[in-house]
Amino acid sequence: MAKIKAEYIWIDGHQPTSKLRSKTKIIDGPATALEDIPEWGFDGSSTMQAEGKNSDCMLKPVCFVPDPIREGDDILVMNEVRNADGTIHKSNMRATLSELADKYSDHEPWFGIEQEYTFFVGRSPLGWPDGGYPAPQGPFYCGVGADEVFGREIVEDHMDACVRAGIGLSGINAEVMPGQWEFQVGPLGALEVADQLWLSRWLLYRIAEDYGVNATLHPKPVKGDWNGAGAHTNFSTKSMRENGGMKVIEDACEKLGKKHDEHIAIYGAHNEERLTGLHETCSIHDFRYGVSDRGASIRIPMATANDGYGYLEDRRPAANMDPYQVCASLISTVCA
């Protein structure tokens, strides 16, 4: 049996926003099924997941993809964290989503997540004059040319890597603030989109590392008259995608409005800096939905309104949200 490198990736216990961690295990390959990938452990006292005197945590593989960086038979392994006795660790948000996805599988929920992020070098966004500001926003969104777009080579590398890994990427674009970009994952089922979003975030950090650039998911990386970074979550159920779906979508928006505060509570830290009512957002204190309305909490895309069925876009989640929690909250509010 040939040896392969398996990069074990997991989510730590950092507060208020969890971070990604990873380490490499040499295992017997090739791995063709989850059963081929052993469970592993780590020191939870170094990841805010355990006390020093009882620090072993378990890594339980939940999905794997070809490693697009090391290539060959090497793999990236997404894990959930268990306690030493195998029970669900309190930082493990995937387990709840897994239960809900099972319980409401007949609704066939689909998600497409737009991940916005910002490249930084030192204290400035990539392409910004050191300690200063570029020209005001306007030309940068979907721009082209060395005066408007910064970091495209990293973005292209990341996109290629995601595609090689079999991640369900659906596109990329340069964003409104220079140095800010977006990629979209989905539409996919809840666990698939969330696992793949975490893997694609890991690839983003890892690839940018080779360029000496740091990608941040902070929802308001630069204060003032600059766009924040979100993770618009597009969501549909089977009945929303069928004739008459518009009514189901409106009912879903009404339900979401009643639970606005509960959703905001898990839609990402520092989101109040981003959801100000300016820069294509609705204030964090208000809830509104509307067709084509980019100033609403929830936008119903024009094509959905025209067809009478389709999906809704929850514009509230911040770029640093946890997709396990966001998908779980949408399923439990809308499908229950």
Choose, by CB under 6 A, the member of 201, 206, 241, 316 that binds ligand ADP: 241
Tell me: does residue 232 bind Mn ion (CB under 5 A).
Answer: yes
In DSSP terms, 10 is beta-bridged to 21
> In b/e form, how buried is each residue of 192-207, taking b as 16+ CB within 10 angstroms?
bbbbbbbbbbbbbbbb
Choose, by CB under 5 A, the member of 80, 114, 157, 322 that binds Mn ion: 114
Interacting partner of 128 out of Mn ion, ligand ADP, none (Cβ under 5 to 8 A depending on kind): none
Choose, by CB under 6 A, the member of 13, 44, 68, 112 that binds ligand ADP: 112
CA dist 231 and 267 (Å) reads 9
Tell me: does residue 187 bind ligand ADP (CB under 6 A).
Answer: yes
Tell me: does residue 12 bind Mn ion (CB under 5 A).
Answer: no
Min dist CB 227 to ligand ADP, Å, is 13
Min dist CB 173 to Mn ion, Å, is 6
Tell me: does residue 114 bind ligand ADP (CB under 6 A).
Answer: yes
Tell me: does residue 314 bind Mn ion (CB under 5 A).
Answer: no
Tell me: does residue 182 bind Mn ion (CB under 5 A).
Answer: yes
Percent helix, strand, coil in the chain (nearest 5)? 30, 25, 45
Q: Which pair of tokens denotes residue 189?
A: 């089922």
Inter-CA distances, 35 with 4, 38, 39, 212, 312, Å: 15, 7, 9, 36, 37
Which DSSP category does 318 fall into?
A: B
Interacting partner of 241 out of ligand ADP, Mn ion, none (Cβ under 5 to 8 A depending on kind): ligand ADP
CA dist 135 and 98 (Å) reads 46
Residues 6+ apart with CB under 8 A from 34: 61, 62, 63, 64
Min dist CB 95 to ligand ADP, Å, is 23
Min dist CB 309 to ligand ADP, Å, is 9
Min dist CB 260 to ligand ADP, Å, is 20
